[in-house]
């Protein structure tokens, strides 16, 4: 006959912790009491009584104590029991299971917010009694579908659902679904102990492949009863016993495969008795085999395991050790408020690193994130050595630079290494994926420095080389305005910048580059000159030179219209078209004497005049408004015309006489480069 003992049979860590606590307290001199039986196992309770440990069954008994130590059992108790112990001046030792304590915290906080608590479990079970004592609002206790159907609250109320730690997981899900379909604002916490889930799952699998099943546990043990129910569903030939005395061994004479499991409150010595009666293999040998197969853990060691259960904020892992491993959310991912149920599944294999061999609740604290970081650190060190280009997401912007997330590792890029130009505002990089190289890597000191500037400089160098290989003087190109100064604009040609001087921006006069261009504009230019790495650009395209057909348009005698562009004491310069200016001498504005042009003209004023002189080779045009005035009657003249002309000529200073010959382009002020 093959006898198979469930790996999870016997004390869970919470029960073992509670029992060991009472035995330790019993060795002390003062009286020791447990509030209710420490576990639902008569054998253990009797053994503790023989060592002087007394069981208190009510608050009245507790009120009568004047000294001693009171141990709270793993099932937990109402809050008022704590208050009584404190009021009586008794020593409190809390052995409540950590999973139960977590439920107490949930129901207390949620009910303080006004939520109604729904406890899925047995209303008579001491654990449920304890949970109810932490609720600030009247709770519902649900054990059956009828209980779930009977729940009625106002639409404004919010329901928060928790579970007795030893409840059947499948049944819990069914009852939650019934309540959820009622349409209330509700949320559920699956607070079934991970050890209970594992035990129930293993029992179902073992029973499905056995000819007979033995379930060992106290008659009042809720979790053992549930194991029996699960086993009975899979294997009709299931026996519920407390000790070997309850078992009829003759019933197994024709059975070839027997499975044995036990509740969380069943001591190993009782399991040993049953197993010894069913198998030639001694219990000691089983334990030795179990210890041989179990891992040896230590802080910093990597372990492999299988995921037993997943909650939004933690993962429980079977690591083949005497207690399970737990991975909190912040040790799985750097994503805040991530829901772990969407990231891993029950049954997945996982590798993690041991942080603590006991997290204070009897479990092994693990980190998946640190295993990933170790792998990434190896990659980062190799990338640093090889100069590999990496890509990461900017997750934080600081005064000193950027924090980039590469996998689960954080890389710091100083502000001076973010770009090859000064970056006044780094906020534009937030949530962006950027490329960088690692220039310094010391994961142990959490110092990993990235450099983006190096890549940009190298990329621009390559682009510059490619640009200079293809450009030549006279070539027309499109570029983007990168910067505008007082003397010109720098144009990005896609690999190098060229200077478009203010004097080359137009055939006409440009007051200031910033009035003509803004950063980001796309412009069409031609290359005027190349000197080493310097490129001179121009927008004065030869085929657009306004002097090409000026001789026809501005022949002597032609009447033209223009705009007053600027004035001096000796005359005004008139813009006939962009790039073509003519001089209107002060003596040619009117017949009467005018001291200055500004006394009769304004900049921007449109005027009509006649071309009186055109010198194409010198690009000089002279205008006269006086020539368009109607001829005057000779009899009305106070002086002969010749005398008037002589007077005008006599009034011209030598400087004005010279200035009359000055043209628009010789008088135009050209800023120094």
Question: CA-to-CA distance for 117 and 31, rounded, in angstroms?
Answer: 37
Determine how β-strand 2-5 pairs with β-strand 257-262: parallel
Phi and psi dihedrals of 381, rounded to 5? -65, -40
Could you tell me if residue 108 is inside a domain?
Answer: yes
Same domain, residue pair 307 and 282: no
Supply the pLDDT for residue 218. Answer: 81
Q: Which domain holds residue 111?
A: 98-188
Query: Do residue 23 and residue 50 come from a single domain?
Result: yes
User: Global pTM?
Assistant: 0.43
Give the burial class of 573: count Cβ atoms within 10 A of its Cβ; 0-12 exposed, 13-18 middle, 19 or more buried.
buried
Provide the domain count of the chain.
Answer: 7
Residue 171: CATH number of its domain: 3.40.1010.20
Side-chain-side CA neighbours of residue 79 (13 Å): 11
What's the CA gap between 566 and 661, in Å, rounded?
A: 16
Residue 324 lies in a domain: yes
Note the pLDDT of residue 459.
85
Do 266 and 344 belong together in one domain?
no
Residue 556 lies in a domain: yes
Weakly modelled stretches of the chain, pLDDT under 70: 279-296, 322, 359-362, 443-444, 632-673
Question: How many CA atoms lie less than 13 Å away from 169 in the CB half-sphere?
Answer: 18
Q: What is the pLDDT of residue 228?
A: 92
pLDDT of res. 671: 38
What is the spatial order of strands in the sheet that 116-120 belongs to?
140-142, 116-120, 158-163, 185-188
The model's pLDDT over 308-367, given as tens digits with 9 standing for 90+, comes to: 888 888 899 888 876 788 999 989 987 878 899 999 998 899 999 998 887 656 678 999
Q: Is 127 a catalytic residue?
A: yes
What pLDDT shows up at residue 246? 81
229 & 132 share domain: no
Q: Is residue 265 part of a domain?
A: yes
Confidence at residue 266, expressed as pLDDT on a 0 to 100 scale: 83
Q: What is the pLDDT of residue 363?
A: 77
CB-facing half-sphere around the CA of 662: CA atoms within 13 A: 19
| 132 within domain boundaries | yes
Residues 200 and 275 in one domain: yes
Instruction: Please state the φ and ψ torsions of residue 432, each to the nearest 5 degrees.
Output: -95, 145
Catalytic annotation, pick one of 16, 127, 331, 575 = 127
pLDDT at position 578 is: 86
Domain match, 309 and 347 both: yes
């Amino acid at each position: 006959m093959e006898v198979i003992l469930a790996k999870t049979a016997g004390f869970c860590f919470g029960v073992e912790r509670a029992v060991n606590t009472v035995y330790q307290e019993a060795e002390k001199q003062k009286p020791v009491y447990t509030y209710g039986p420490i576990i639902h196992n008569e054998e253990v309770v009797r053994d503790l009584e023989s060592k002087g440990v007394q069981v208190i069954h009510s608050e009245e008994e507790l009120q009568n104590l004047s000294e001693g130590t009171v141990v709270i059992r793993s099932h937990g108790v109402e809050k008022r029991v704590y208050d009584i112990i404190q009021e009586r001046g008794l020593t409190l030792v809390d052995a409540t299971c950590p999973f139960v304590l977590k439920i107490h915290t949930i129901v207390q906080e949620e009910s303080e917010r006004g939520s109604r608590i729904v406890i899925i479990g047995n209303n008579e079970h001491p654990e449920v009694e304890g949970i109810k004592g932490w609720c600030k609002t009247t709770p519902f206790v649900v054990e059956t579908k009828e209980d779930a159907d009977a729940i009625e609250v106002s639409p404004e109320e919010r329901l928060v659902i928790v579970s007795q730690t030893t409840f059947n997981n499948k049944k819990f899900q069914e009852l939650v679904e019934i309540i959820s379909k009622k349409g209330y604002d509700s949320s559920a916490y699956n607070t079934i102990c991970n050890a209970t889930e594992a035990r129930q799952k293993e029992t179902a699998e073992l029973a499905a492949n056995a000819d007979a099943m033995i379930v060992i546990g106290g008659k009042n043990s809720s979790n053992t009863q549930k194991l029996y129910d699960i086993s009975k569903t899979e294997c009709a030939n299931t026996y519920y016993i407390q000790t070997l005395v309850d078992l009829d061994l003759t019933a197994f004479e024709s059975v070839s495969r027997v499975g044995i499991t036990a509740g969380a409150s069943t001591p190993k010595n009782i399991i040993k008795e049953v197993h010894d009666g069913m198998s030639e293999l001694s219990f000691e040998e089983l334990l030795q085999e179990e210890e041989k197969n179990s891992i040896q853990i230590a802080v910093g060691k990597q372990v492999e395991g299988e995921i037993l259960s997943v909650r939004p904020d933690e993962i429980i892992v079977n690591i083949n050790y005497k207690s399970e491993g737990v991975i909190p959310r912040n040790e799985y991912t750097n994503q805040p408020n991530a829901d772990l149920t969407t990231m891993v599944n029950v049954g997945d294999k996982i590798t993690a690193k041991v942080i603590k061999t006991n997290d204070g609740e009897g479990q092994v604290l693990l980190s998946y994130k640190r295993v990933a970081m170790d792998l990434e650190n190896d990659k980062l060190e190799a990338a640093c050595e090889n100069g590999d280009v990496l890509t990461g997401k900017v997750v934080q912007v600081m005064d000193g630079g950027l924090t980039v997330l590469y996998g689960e590792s954080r890389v710091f890029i100083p502000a001076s290494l973010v770009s090859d130009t000064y970056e006044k505002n780094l906020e534009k990089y937030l949530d962006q994926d950027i490329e960088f190289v690692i220039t310094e890597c010391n994961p142990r000191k959490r110092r990993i420095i990235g450099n983006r500037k190096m890549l940009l400089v190298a990329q621009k160098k390559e682009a510059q080389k490619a640009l200079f290989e293809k450009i030549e003087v006279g070539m027309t190109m499109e570029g983007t305005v990168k910067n505008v100064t007082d003397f010109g604009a720098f144009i990005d040609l896609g690999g190098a910048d060229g200077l478009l001087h203010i004097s080359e921006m137009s055939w006409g006069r440009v007051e200031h580059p910033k009035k003509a261009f803004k950063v980001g504009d796309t412009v069409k230019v031609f290359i005027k000159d190349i000197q080493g790495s310097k490129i001179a650009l121009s927008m004065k395209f030869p085929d657009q030179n306004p002097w090409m057909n000026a001789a026809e348009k501005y022949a002597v005698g032609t009447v033209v219209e223009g705009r007053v562009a600027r004035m001096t004491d000796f005359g005004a310069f008139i813009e006939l078209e962009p790039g073509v200016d003519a001089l209107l001498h002060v003596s040619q504005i009117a017949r009467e004497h005018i001291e200055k042009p500004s006394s009769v003209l304004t900049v921007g004023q449109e005027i009509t005049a006649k071309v009186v002189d055109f010198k194409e080779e010198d690009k000089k045009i002279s205008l006269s408004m006086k020539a368009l005035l109607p001829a005057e009657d000779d009899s009305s003249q106070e002086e002969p015309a010749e005398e008037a002309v002589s007077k005008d000529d006599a009034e011209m200073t030598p400087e004005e006489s010279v200035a009359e010959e000055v043209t628009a382009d010789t008088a135009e002020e050209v800023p120094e480069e």
